[in-house]
A and B are shown apart, each in its own frame.
Chain A
Amino acid sequence: MSANSETPPAIEVSHLRKVYGRGHTEVVAIRDATLQIARGEIVGMLGPSGSGKSTILTAMALINPPTAGQITISGKPVMDGPRALVDARAFRRRHLGFVFQKPNLIPFLTALENVQIALEVNDIAPREARKRALELLDYLGVSPRANNLPDALSGGEQQRVAIARALANNPSLILADEPTAALDSKLGRQVMELFAKVAHERHAGVLVVTHDLRTLDIFDRILDVEDGAIQVRENPATVTSAR
């Protein structure tokens, strides 16, 4: 899916560079990475372990400042090199959603409360937050389990709740780090299809770091990361056959 020309991209990253250590211990994790994800677009990020995927993801999540480069989210410049141009935590709260390999649900909150808390930290009144959280769980097909603690949910249900939490504040960008790694192939595919649904129906940019080559057809584009450099491939089938 292409970006709407009037809407700024979900995220623009230009000439991103991240260096760990100094002198002899210097490791370049990201080399001059530039990418753009439009709203309503779902993009996959592939690459071997240690290639820099997670570093790029955490830099985009505003929790790991880059050494150089700029990050703009929803048209708002947020990072200029290591310097944050916004209150990173407040910005994450309003504009970003996260999904991880493990669902990372808060164990002492029910499914509903795990979604509700994301709304409440964004100053949504509890009653309204509860209503919206229920709607999201319904949208993702887990509303019957709304009052269950995470322990009582299956892996797939937990991941759906985590996606609902990521969607809670209508973020412009959702960052997912290997969200299907802990799921079987059938559930993994269902979750990936959910991400695609979210991107297309809720008009959010979605970046998914994955190793699962069986779901590449779901992505609009593939970012291939190797040694901290990004290559963009438009046709997932090409990537699949190349590996």
Chain B
Amino acid sequence: MNLAVRDVRHNAGRFAFTTLGVGLLLMIVMGMGGIYRGLIYEATLLVDSVGADLWVVQGSTRGPFAEISRLPANLEDRVLAVPGVARARRFVSHTIQREHQGKLLRMVVQGLAWPDDKGEWVPLVAGRPLRQAHYEMIADQSLHLPLGEKIRLGKDVYEIVGQTRGLVGSSGDGLAFFTISDAMAIQFDVPGEAMRLERAARRARVEAIDLGRLQPLLLDRAAGLNRGIPALATPQVSAVLVSLQPGADAAAVRRVLSTWPDITVYSTQEQKDLLLAGMVDKARRQLGLFRTLLIIISTIIIALIIYTLTLDKIRDIALLKLIGARNTVIGGLILQQALLMGACGFGIAWWIGQYLFPHFPRLVLIANEDLVSLGVIVVVISTLASLLGIWKALHVEPNTVLAV
């Protein structure tokens, strides 16, 4: 006869409410693990998706995911000349926050190296890749921009021609793909007034020097377009992505590139490791500490509940001792109740999580191995939590039952 189940059945309401509370706590523990998994997934999604063999970034930096990396756009051509390199692409990625239809809209602007890269590799759930050099974009569904919708970014208007699902940056903001020139135009867009002030300032600087007075043509140049002034820097990109020829020796290509003092080269794995070691590692530790605290709190709550349930039936336990029940029967009653509470709480956590987690603003990814490890943790904390009740029960004198 299973005494634990019968006692639980008799106090079903109280047990159910208590277990629901434990379940909600465990759901938070489960959710925090899922948030961490989601962070890793989202952080590495872009690095995995673009499919580069090597990442060329600004010298002595750790790449665009760790800090600011600026490279001249024409580095692409230098890299392409290295033996073993099949393809080199400019990589532009930056986050913008704009207002669209009265709401704030945050997106990660991702440049595609048009015309080589039209975004065919991007996993679309609707629409098509880019077909023209300007004014088209592919947006993730998390941005809530339907196909055909037009959005003004900077001075230009872009039409959504394709949609992805679940493609987000390391910050959880949806990715939006543009041609690289459009991505740079969005990145470096400044208001017309700022441009006019900048040109006036240039003209004033030229007029202030002898060369300006000797070469009046410079004054006309100063008031012109940026690209007409050789002294100004060429457009810059965040990185250059390198794809190797089939069978090419990655180490050899890397050795060549490493001799260039203005750049640093990383493999995709190194780039991912840098990404995870930076932003995600701190989040991991933060979430880990919260999870530990919540597990301790859950243990204490289960222990107190089991202890209270034990106190409630102390006379019954004394009676069981009087009629000769072994300690294993009495200890088993309490241990089984604790395990039942833990197991039901775990089930509730999982069940509610199924419905709740998809509505979280960040991806919550519940991995099977995390479920298994949390299950083991629940068994351990339930067992630990039962110890107080078992200790109390085993110290009850059988003659307690004689007290009126």
Chain A residues engaging chain B, CB cutoff 8 angstroms: 54, 58, 61, 63-64, 89-94, 98, 100-102, 104, 106-109, 113, 116-118, 120-122, 126, 129, 149, 165, 177
| A107 partner residues in chain B, CB cutoff 8 A | 10, 316
- Docked CA distance A243–B11 (Å): 48
Given A109-B6, A121-B329, A92:B324 Cβ within 8 A: yes
| B321 partner residues in chain A, CB cutoff 8 A | 89
A63 and B325 form a contact (CB under 8 A): no
- Interface residue from B326, B399, B402 paired with A89 (Cβ < 8 Å): B326
B323 and A121 form a contact (CB under 8 A): yes
B399 and A63 form a contact (CB under 8 A): yes
A104 and B329 form a contact (CB under 8 A): no
B399 and A64 form a contact (CB under 8 A): yes
Given A107-B316, A116-B1, A92:B323 Cβ within 8 A: yes
B404 and A106 form a contact (CB under 8 A): no
A63 and B398 form a contact (CB under 8 A): yes
| B329 partner residues in chain A, CB cutoff 8 A | 121
The 9 closest A-B pairs by CB, nearest first: A93-B324, A108-B10, A121-B325, A108-B7, A92-B324, A63-B398, A63-B399, A106-B316, A108-B6
| A100 partner residues in chain B, CB cutoff 8 A | 401-402
Given A58-B402, A120-B1, A122-B324, A104:B6 Cβ within 8 A: no
Q: List 14 A-B contacts (CB under 8 A).
A: A61-B398, A63-B399, A64-B399, A89-B326, A91-B324, A93-B325, A104-B315, A106-B316, A106-B319, A108-B3, A109-B3, A121-B326, A121-B329, A126-B1
B320 and A63 form a contact (CB under 8 A): no
Chain B proximity of A179: nearest CB distance (Å)? 12
A113 and B6 form a contact (CB under 8 A): yes
| B399 partner residues in chain A, CB cutoff 8 A | 58, 61, 63-64
| A177 partner residues in chain B, CB cutoff 8 A | 402
| Binary interface encoding of chain B residues 385-399 relative to chain A, with 1 for a CB under 8 A from any of its CBs, else 0 | 000000000000111
Chain A proximity of B235: nearest CB distance (Å)? 77
Instruction: Tell me the chain B residues, 353-404 only, with Cβ under 8 Å from chain A.
Output: 397-399, 401-402, 404
| B7 partner residues in chain A, CB cutoff 8 A | 108
Q: Confirm or deny: B113 has a beta carbon within 8 angstroms of a beta carbon on chain A.
A: no
Chain A proximity of B187: nearest CB distance (Å)? 70
Q: Which of B315, B398, B399, B401 has the largest count of A CB atoms less than 10 A from its CB?
A: B398
A165 and B323 form a contact (CB under 8 A): yes
Chain A proximity of B367: nearest CB distance (Å)? 39
| Tally of B interface residues using CB under 8 Å | 25
- Interface residue from A89, A102, A116 paired with B324 (Cβ < 8 Å): A89
Q: Confirm or deny: B9 has a beta carbon within 8 angstroms of a beta carbon on chain A.
A: yes
B6 and A54 form a contact (CB under 8 A): no
Q: Residue of B at shortest CB range from A109?
A: B6
Chain B proximity of A211: nearest CB distance (Å)? 13
Q: Residue of A at shortest CB range from B319?
A: A104
Instruction: Tell me the chain B residues, 323-342 only, with Cβ under 8 Å from chain A.
Output: 323-326, 329
Q: Residue of B at shortest CB range from A95?
A: B324
Chain A proximity of B69: nearest CB distance (Å)? 68
| B3 partner residues in chain A, CB cutoff 8 A | 108-109, 117
- Interface residue from B9, B10, B320, B404 paired with A121 (Cβ < 8 Å): B320
- Interface residue from A54, A92, A108, A117 paired with B402 (Cβ < 8 Å): A54
| B313 partner residues in chain A, CB cutoff 8 A | 106, 108
B324 and A90 form a contact (CB under 8 A): yes
A98 and B322 form a contact (CB under 8 A): yes
- Docked CA distance A129–B325 (Å): 15
B322 and A61 form a contact (CB under 8 A): yes
Q: Residue of A at shortest CB range from B397?
A: A63
Chain B proximity of A9: nearest CB distance (Å)? 21
Chain B proximity of A26: nearest CB distance (Å)? 21
- Interface residue from A58, A64, A91, A117 paired with B1 (Cβ < 8 Å): A117
A92 and B322 form a contact (CB under 8 A): yes
Q: Residue of A at shortest CB range from B317?
A: A106
| A121 partner residues in chain B, CB cutoff 8 A | 320, 323-326, 329
- Docked CA distance A126–B404 (Å): 31
B323 and A113 form a contact (CB under 8 A): no
- Docked CA distance A102–B397 (Å): 18
- Docked CA distance A93–B324 (Å): 4
- Docked CA distance A109–B404 (Å): 21
| B315 partner residues in chain A, CB cutoff 8 A | 104
- Docked CA distance A94–B315 (Å): 21
- Docked CA distance A118–B402 (Å): 18
Q: Residue of A at shortest CB range from B325?
A: A121
Chain B proximity of A130: nearest CB distance (Å)? 9
Chain A proximity of B309: nearest CB distance (Å)? 11
A118 and B6 form a contact (CB under 8 A): no
| Binary interface encoding of chain B residues 1-42 relative to chain A, with 1 for a CB under 8 A from any of its CBs, else 0 | 101001101110000000000000000000000000000000
Chain A proximity of B220: nearest CB distance (Å)? 97
A108 and B9 form a contact (CB under 8 A): yes
Q: Residue of A at shortest CB range from B316?
A: A106
A101 and B324 form a contact (CB under 8 A): no
- Docked CA distance A92–B322 (Å): 7
- Docked CA distance A149–B6 (Å): 11
| A106 partner residues in chain B, CB cutoff 8 A | 313, 316, 319-320
Q: Residue of A at shortest CB range from B321?
A: A89
- Docked CA distance A108–B398 (Å): 19
- Docked CA distance A104–B1 (Å): 19
Q: Residue of A at shortest CB range from B8?
A: A108
Chain B proximity of A73: nearest CB distance (Å)? 13
Q: A63-B398, A109-B1 are in contact. List 17 more A-B contacts (CB 8 A).
A: A61-B398, A91-B324, A92-B322, A92-B323, A93-B325, A94-B324, A104-B315, A104-B401, A106-B320, A108-B316, A113-B1, A121-B323, A121-B325, A122-B324, A149-B10, A165-B323, A177-B402
